[in-house]
Amino acid sequence: MAAVILLQAHGLTRHFDGLKAVDGVDFVLKEGEIHALIGPNGAGKTTFVSLLSGRIPAQSGTIHLKGRDITKLPAHKRVKAGIAYTFQITQVYAALTVFDNVALAVQSRGAHPIRAAAMAALERVGLETRAGQIAGTLSYGHQRVLEIAMGLALKPTLLILDEPTQGLAQGEIATFKEIVRAVVPETTVLLIEHNMDVVMDLATRITVLNFGTILATGTPEEIRANRAVQAAYLGEPC
């Protein structure tokens, strides 16, 4: 059976003072996949997912989520529509407890009971025993995991992760991969990541951005073997 399209972008464009950060991109995300977005620094990856999540408005093009046109929806309404975006820099509330951080995410979607939903999200990422800890006292790796729990507490159909393994130790990366594998197929994951071992291990499909346009899309094996991708980003074949 053919995979169902969850999100589709057509002709998506965003320029900044002549810089073509995203330039007429067509993109398809299928339900239940882990889709990695890779490319050199400055390729437009963060701008692209910011367009998808509504943090930046598109200058032209369209975005459809489950067939619904969300191009003009503000970010908070896209969250309610099912898109959660965790940031490149950890965005936890350092002075609050781990539980309260997740409870705020639960509350924002109007869910009840809040405690049960928050603890369920913490259990999914293995932080339930740290619920009472002040978030700012967590290790950097645990703060990144907490951010994922906050995203999952929104019950998204699409979870966008921007450089989630940046700064993580090897053991923390292994934990992160287990968490991501556990959330699909219930949640579709779009992952911006520079760690190619993580990308090749996790991704169902990979899209390569370069100078604001799509250079290639395919399976990890197809991307590894793609000459244009090797020249622009990967170097010699793996």
Residue 35 lies in a domain: yes
Is it the case that residue 111 has pLDDT exceeding 80?
A: no
Residue type, 144: R
Structural contact between residues 44 and 196, judged by C-beta atoms closer than 8 angstroms = no
Mean pLDDT for 2-23 is 93
Residue 11 lies in a domain: yes
With H, G, I as helix, E, B as strand and everything else as coil, classify residue 87.
coil
Is it the case that residue 2 has pLDDT exceeding 80?
A: no
Domain that holds residue 168: 5-82+156-234
Mean pLDDT for 148-177 is 91
Q: Which of 76, 26, 70, 35 is nearest to 55 (CA)?
A: 76
Structural contact between residues 36 and 207, judged by C-beta atoms closer than 8 angstroms = yes
pLDDT tens sequence across 55-81 = 999 999 999 999 999 999 999 999 999
Report d(CA 86, CA 20) in Å as an integer. 24
Mean pLDDT for 43-55 is 94
Residue 135 lies in a domain: no
**pLDDT of 238:** 40
Residue 200 lies in a domain: yes
**pLDDT of 42:** 87
Q: Which of 6, 42, 48 is nearest to 25 (CA)?
A: 48
**pLDDT of 237:** 45
Poorest-pLDDT segment among 83-92, 162-171, 187-196: 83-92
Contacts by residues 120-128 (CB-CB < 8 Å, ≥ 24 positions apart): 121/149, 121/150, 121/152, 121/153, 122/98, 122/149, 124/149, 124/152, 124/179, 124/182, 124/183, 125/149, 125/152, 125/179, 126/175, 126/179, 127/98
Percent of the chain with pLDDT over 70: 95
Residue 96 lies in a domain: no
Is it the case that residue 88 has pLDDT exceeding 60?
A: no
Structural contact between residues 193 and 30, judged by C-beta atoms closer than 8 angstroms = no
Domain count, the chain: 1
Mean pLDDT for 13-28 is 94
Report d(CA 40, CA 210) in Å as an integer. 7
Q: Which two tokens stand for residue 223?
A: 């991307």
**pLDDT of 167:** 84
Mean pLDDT for 10-18 is 94
Residue 78 lies in a domain: yes
Residue 62 lies in a domain: yes
**pLDDT of 89:** 52
Mean pLDDT for 7-26 is 95
Q: Which of 137, 56, 139, 147 is nearest to 104 (CA)?
A: 147
- pTM for the model: 0.91
| CATH number, domain with residue 225 | 3.40.50.300
User: 3: pLDDT confidence band, cut at 50, 70 and 90?
Assistant: confident
Residue 119 lies in a domain: no
